[in-house]
Structure 1
Amino acid sequence: MSNGVARKYDVYAVGTALIDYQYALSETQSRQFSLEHGGTIINAEQEQELLQQLSKIDPVRVCGGSGANTLAVISQLGGKTFYSCKVAADEVGQLYQNNLHDAKIETDLQFDYKQATGKCFIIVLSDGERILHSFLGANCNLSPQDLRNDIIKNANYIFIEAFSSAVSASSKLTAETAIKIAKQCDTKVALTLSTCRPSFISRHDFVKTAGTGVDLLFCNEFEANFFCGTEQLNIAKEKLKAIAKQFVITLGKEGALLFDGNQFIKVPAYSSNAIDTTGAGDIFAGAFLFAITHGASFLQAGNLASFAAAKSVTRVGARLSTSIINEIKKEHMRAYSA
């Protein structure tokens, strides 16, 4: 709701459409492949080489990308969402479109006929370490013409990935344009640093993209420190005030630190048996945005998001099962009746 007028959509997102190819490897298996640990962006030739290397291992393929993961949670909890993104006119692109529909995320997904659909290869080792290789593909051609201005005007929030600044000049311009349009029609801007790494995006590009128009920022402790040029969270949290009106810093097992525009609020973590942390930050953002657009206070939204993130890491992948969604809904109702 903006200026007392109800809007159709809770969140409109524009982001990086990636199909997650999830592989579970032992340390022995991983030695058979020339896999660079950590995270990196690969080109089309490297993508094909990686697919060939891993061809004898069946991956779990899931519609991914921070924007889609975040919207999926909101939709599963009962919120109204819309996603603008770009995939190729190929089998993987069709899979992505079908997955969005299954998640009840509205979209006018655009097909690109020049590049393949983007992919994120997630190799999970036996010790829990993740190796990430991202092939951006069609995402490089996302342009301001792909934005739905009418939807932006009819949404409470737009959700932008800072990662867009690293994809291409065109996608960077798209993110900046979306923020500009949102500001013109009084739609709040939420921005996530999820999936951003020093090798992917510079502080300068991030600040240029964000400008002074961010209402709500999501990041983890590492991201907060890196983008503020410090190794001390106490310094970073003060510097973030110049970037966003409100923000959330997730702290892993320590919970999260919220800034509601006036004061800092500490939210504890819920205990869980972590199996896979893929997308935990996206789950947190999705639950938080759902709560905040459905009448919750900042503290209530933070607690629900912390609960959802704890549940998400107990299974493989960034999407939540129906049983976990039902648990989150019960927690949401319990918080309101307390």
Structure 2
Amino acid sequence: MKKIVVIGSSNIDLIMKMNRLPEKGETVTGAEFFQVYGGKGANQAVAAARAGGNVAFISCVGEDAYASQMIQQFKDNGIDTSFVFRETGMPSGHALIMIGGQGENYISVAPGANDLLGPEKINEALPIINEAEMIVLQYEIPRKTLTHIINIGNEKNIPILWNFAPAQEFDFSYFSRINILVLNETEVGYLAKMQVENEDEAENAAKTLIERGVEKVIITRGAEGAFVLTEHEKVRISSYRVDAVDTTAAGDTFCGALAVALIEGSSLKHALEFASAAAAISVTRLGRNPRFLLDLK
């Protein structure tokens, strides 16, 4: 079975669900509190596994009470954890998340052990990377590690799907080495250095990335759907209408499901529809799919 190798972050998410998000300097009471496993890398790995993919995950967790539970939950989802590294003297990554009544959110992340996922650990994980039909990346691990992975993927002719989130500075010369770049409107605007507030502006921004050598640029637009742009075509889909409860991991779910559909040989349109359906399901559930509630017993 074709293997997807997800390389990225693992976090503990501390979540407050409230009727509305606070304004600057305001305290909102009456929230519900949850602790769940997250991290964009972990979310995408779990999403890909639950979508039927054969998934290996490369990540770093810390020396804390959560680490063993996280690794076991990955295993319970059928994920190969041979190269989920345990770091001593360092906590696992943590995220603080506030979710409002319509599923909107504020998020802040303390990377913890994720910052220790360096190039040397990627070299240790080469046996599993060599089996990959696709590498899936995000941007919650060190920049030098990402450049190293991109170089390896290119040398071994392994397609790279990169969810450029959260958007940060990066060497633009590497974008010509990316097969599939997944962005929301904020991220594509950041990369293209232009304002993006609608689909036409998003398409113009995506075109600048195609001109820089990216093979496929996929723009996710939430309730407005998604589209993929290549040098020769644009394929657009509408979103599935659902009542959103928690949008936190929707983009990660989209990416994990998209990777599965693509390596199984789906057309671009079908792959987008499959990924969009998975993301739509994920936002109807608080702290689940792909994230999963901690067992606090």
TM over 0.5: yes
- 1:112 equivalent in structure 2: 87
In 1, Cα distance between the equivalents of 2:26 and 2:171? Answer: 28
In 2, Cα distance between the equivalents of 1:126 and 1:297? Answer: 36
Once the two structures are superposed, the pairs formed by residues 127-142 of structure 1 within 5 Å of their partners are 128-142=103-117
Q: Is the 8 A contact 1:158 1:187 kept in 2?
A: yes
In 1, Cα distance between the equivalents of 2:26 and 2:105? Answer: 11
Partner amino acid for 2:207?
E
- Give, in angstroms, the shift of residue 57 of structure 1: 7.6
Q: Is the 8 A contact 2:15 2:35 kept in 1?
A: yes
- 2:98 equivalent in structure 1: 123
SS at match of 1:12: strand
In 2, Cα distance between the equivalents of 1:310 and 1:193? Answer: 20
Q: Tell me the percent identity.
A: 24
- Give, in angstroms, the shift of residue 300 of structure 1: 0.7
Q: CA-to-partner distance for each residue in 1:251-282, whole Å, 9 max, x for gaps?
A: 11211011245211111111111111111111
For residue 208 of structure 2, the aligned residue among 239, 251, 263 is 239
In structure 2, do the counterparts of structure 1 residues 127 and 263 end up closer, same or farther at CA, with 3 Å as the change threshold? closer
In structure 2, do the counterparts of structure 1 residues 253 and 57 end up closer, same or farther at CA, with 3 Å as the change threshold? closer
- 1:316 equivalent in structure 2: 286
- 1:16 equivalent in structure 2: 9
- Give, in angstroms, the shift of residue 128 of structure 1: 3.9
In 2, Cα distance between the equivalents of 1:115 and 1:66? Answer: 19
- 2:198 equivalent in structure 1: none
TM-score by length of 2: 0.86
Confirm whether residue 182 of structure 1 aligns to residue 159 of structure 2: no
- 1:156 equivalent in structure 2: 133
- Give, in angstroms, the shift of residue 235 of structure 1: 2.1
Once the two structures are superposed, the pairs formed by residues 214-253 of structure 1 within 5 Å of their partners are 214-231=178-195, 232-241=201-210, 242-253=212-223
Partner amino acid for 2:88?
Y
- Give, in angstroms, the shift of residue 58 of structure 1: 7.1
In structure 2, do the counterparts of structure 1 residues 223 and 137 end up closer, same or farther at CA, with 3 Å as the change threshold? same
In 2, Cα distance between the equivalents of 1:236 and 1:258? Answer: 12
In 1, Cα distance between the equivalents of 2:178 and 2:103? Answer: 34
- 1:291 equivalent in structure 2: 261
- Give, in angstroms, the shift of residue 173 of structure 1: 1.6
Structure 2 unaligned regions, length at least 5: 196-200, 293-297
Of structures 1 and 2, the one scoring higher in RCO (CA 8 A, sep 6+) is 2
In 2, Cα distance between the equivalents of 1:184 and 1:128? Answer: 41
Q: Is the 8 A contact 1:207 1:243 kept in 2?
A: no
In 2, Cα distance between the equivalents of 1:206 and 1:276? Answer: 33
SS at match of 1:212: helix
- Give, in angstroms, the shift of residue 26 of structure 1: 4.5
- Count residues with an aligned counterpart: 283
Confirm whether residue 74 of structure 1 aligns to residue 44 of structure 2: no
Q: Is the 8 A contact 1:160 1:190 kept in 2?
A: yes
TM-score by length of 1: 0.76
Q: Is the 8 A contact 1:283 1:318 kept in 2?
A: no
